[in-house]
Amino acid sequence: MARYVKGGDVARVPQINSELEAIETAQKDFLTRSGEAPNEMNSPLDMNSHPILNLPTPTSINEPVRVSDLSAFFDEEGGLVLVNDSIKIIDNIAVMKTTELSPNDTVLCNKYYSGGAYVEGLLFSIVANSGQIENGGTVHNLTNGNKAILLRGSDITLAQFGAVGDGVTNDSSAIHAVRDFLVSQGGGTLIGEGGTYLLNTPETVTHISIGSVSYNPSATSDIGLALPAGVSTEGCSFKTTNAALVALVGTLDWAEASIKNCSLEGTGSTGNTTHGIFTFTTSLDHIHNNCEIDTVRILSFGAYGLGYQYGLPRDFIIKNLYVEDVGSDGVDWKVRGSSLAANLSKSVIFDNITVKGFGKNAGVGSPTAIGVRGTASLNNIYIYDLDTDQVGLQFTAGIVDSSRNEFRMPANKCTLSNFYAEALSPKTTGAIGLDLFATDSLEVGKGVLKWCYVRAQSKTATPYGNGSGTGTIANVTVISAHNSSNNFLIDVEGTSVLGCRSVSDRYFFDKKRENLAPSQTVFVISDSTATTNTLAVEKNGVLLTLTTDYTVQANSITLVAGVLEDDELVVAFPPALGIRVQKGETLVSDFYQDKFHTRNPFFTTSQVVESSVLTGGYSGTQNRITEITVDALGSTGLHMYNNENADVDFRITPANAGVLRFGTHSTIAAETLSGYITIKDASGAERKIAVIS
């Protein structure tokens, strides 16, 4: 309020009343915080050297500005950029392009487009046409033939090039223009601004292609956005409704670049063969050096989520990748070169990769959630919704076919740790959670497979396998699918299976779970395909007997006698075999299978047994046996496992028809009995073999 000075002594009421007019005048001179009238200045305001704080960004030319709002008018040293005495202020770039402007004019646009938000420092200089190429962002064609050139002071943005980002407007031309500008500047990052950019207009790239019949050095593909070497994207959400695209985002001879914090959405997992991200090259031996894909979501494409198809990776990192609902592979990682010698990948890292729902487009490839070739390190891999006969994570075979320049290296020197794969349901048949083609020095550790199994398979001439054996499979737990043949299938020489577990799928019924009531006899297992030979029933720790104690129906079991209130019932679905070994030179150590398994670890032939070693481990409540075997070459194997024959504690198996001999001896009168060895004959009677001295 304006200063009020009292007039003399105003202690009495009449004197106070005489001052009311002065008080009223002071109130009228008051600047209110609420903006009540008159609230206006009729003379200069003296701030007495104090600043005005917290001014907002101006939204019209009649509002006060801050120094930061004028940054576009100054160079890096603080000097003015202005080239004439006046600046024409125009609402948006579209209006500027149709306004009659002359060379040497300076224009400040408030917005990128009509109805858009106010933008700081969108300053243009008008120049005569001297061949500058319009790019939709830094160079604009005016209708009168002149050009508008963006001055320093405004960051390059997608909106500046005309992108709307509403997910409905086709932003292809604007996004392509930003990319072209970055290329002209020697590279850079295409940064999103929170919107969703629709890419429906294709651009055609020329690249090499290796088909099923021939090699094409100049194939063409229509894609949504091509990223060349040095061009990255960050914070962009791209989508397409164009089902004819080969890929939404395609890299072309990519290097020294990244795709970070982006999402890609296609037209669905069927009705198209579009990839999410796909690598293209113009030569067989292009090196993708120092590339990164980080925090990317890929949804609803008819082919691959991520397809690394051509080129040789060096220092390539893929992390925090999520792929869902794709027609073919979630991630297909091929390593191809002009020869096998040129084909080794280096420093390829996959970390925190999730694939959920793949292989939905019938006839498009041989779908695998993640297929890996070359050399790579994989950590924290999660795969969901494996369907019948589908493969989760595959260390994949190579191909050698010089007639079409196809030199595809198999997986080799790979490591895998911390992984999980799960089929759609326990009724899913034939799902392979982990598929290991014959490789060189593969190390697999710490993983869980649910309702799917492990397979190690042999090399063949084509596909091409590198070396003999798979390597080591350690600390992997497999929870059996119902009616499963085996949880581990080893069909390649030279494989080590260490500390792995075969576990029956189990259903628990008890008072704590509130799914058991006194006298209950029928127990429903809705997702089961139970048959009499594929399940076991345990009550209070005791295995029940089929027919005598229970019967089996399609989705339930029925007990002959009802349960008590505190009973605990377990229905288990073990595999036919915990582990099946079909090739020799295999080491199985500390292998565990629970008590519901009915058979020991199984070696298919005597030759496989003789050249393999089974040591340690646990197999339910069956009896332990130790066995020594000798093969035809004199190699000795020590086997320790559980045996169904309770009468055998120790067994020695000579090679072929060899003779087991402790020594030869001719009796002499001076010898005395010093001990004996007890054996059982065919009838089970104990016999003693004398030891003499």
Give tens-digit pLDDT for 105-164.
999 888 877 777 677 667 889 999 988 888 777 788 999 999 998 875 445 778 878 899
Which of 118, 135, 155 is the C-terminal boundary of a domain? 155
- 2-16, 402-416, 488-502, 536-550: the lowest-pLDDT one: 2-16
Rounded CA separation 97/363 (Å) = 51
- 40-54, 536-550, 637-651, 675-689: the lowest-pLDDT one: 637-651
Same domain, yes or no, for 79 and 150?
yes
Please give the DSSP secondary-structure letter assigned to residue 405: T
**Inside any domain, residue 291:** no
Rounded CA separation 247/202 (Å) = 9
Return the pLDDT at 39.
67
pLDDT band for position 443 (cuts 50, 70, 90): very high
Same domain, yes or no, for 538 and 597?
no
Same domain, yes or no, for 41 and 75?
no
Q: How many residues can be counted in the chain? A: 693
Rounded CA separation 350/336 (Å) = 18
- Residues ≥6 apart with Cβ < 8 Å to 564: 518
Which of 552, 573, 594 is the C-terminal boundary of a domain? 573
Return the pLDDT at 153.
42
Return the pLDDT at 648.
56
**Inside any domain, residue 93:** yes
pLDDT tens column, 36-84:
666 677 777 777 878 888 888 776 656 777 766 665 555 444 444 444 4
Same domain, yes or no, for 34 and 105?
no
Rounded CA separation 354/406 (Å) = 29
Return the pLDDT at 194.
86
Say what the pTM is.
Answer: 0.76
Return the pLDDT at 158.
87
**Inside any domain, residue 145:** yes
Same domain, yes or no, for 587 and 628?
yes
Between 445 and 63, the higher pLDDT residue: 445
- pLDDT of 465 above 60: no
Mean pLDDT, rounded, for 625-634: 56
pLDDT band for position 1 (cuts 50, 70, 90): very low
Same domain, yes or no, for 74 and 26?
no
Which amino acid, one-letter code, is at 263? S
Same domain, yes or no, for 78 and 139?
yes
**Inside any domain, residue 284:** no
For 181: left if phi > 0, alpha if psi spans -120 to 50, otherwise beta; the answer is alpha
Rounded CA separation 198/289 (Å) = 29
Beta-bridged to residue 89, according to DSSP, are: 108
Same domain, yes or no, for 76 and 116?
yes
Same domain, yes or no, for 147 and 90?
yes
Same domain, yes or no, for 95 and 112?
yes
Return the pLDDT at 532.
58
Reduced to 3 states (helix: H, G, I; strand: E, B; else coil), residue 573 is: strand
Cis peptide before 202 (omega within 30 of 0): no
**Inside any domain, residue 624:** yes
**Inside any domain, residue 486:** no
pLDDT band for position 9 (cuts 50, 70, 90): low
Q: Which of 584, 579, 578 is nearest to 469 (CA)?
A: 584
Domain count, the chain: 4
**Inside any domain, residue 219:** no
In what helix (H) or strand (E) does residue 416 lie, and over which residues does it extend?
Answer: strand 415-423
Domain span including residue 626: 582-653
Residue 640's Cβ-count burial label (10 Å; 0-12, 13-18, 19+) is middle
* β-pairing verdict for 486-491 and 577-581: parallel
**Inside any domain, residue 305:** no
* β-pairing verdict for 522-524 and 556-559: antiparallel
Positive or negative, the CA dihedral 118, 122, 123, 127 is: negative
pLDDT band for position 255 (cuts 50, 70, 90): very high
Same domain, yes or no, for 80 and 149?
yes
Which of 115, 134, 155 is the C-terminal boundary of a domain? 155
For 59: left if phi > 0, alpha if psi spans -120 to 50, otherwise beta; the answer is alpha
Same domain, yes or no, for 568 and 587?
no
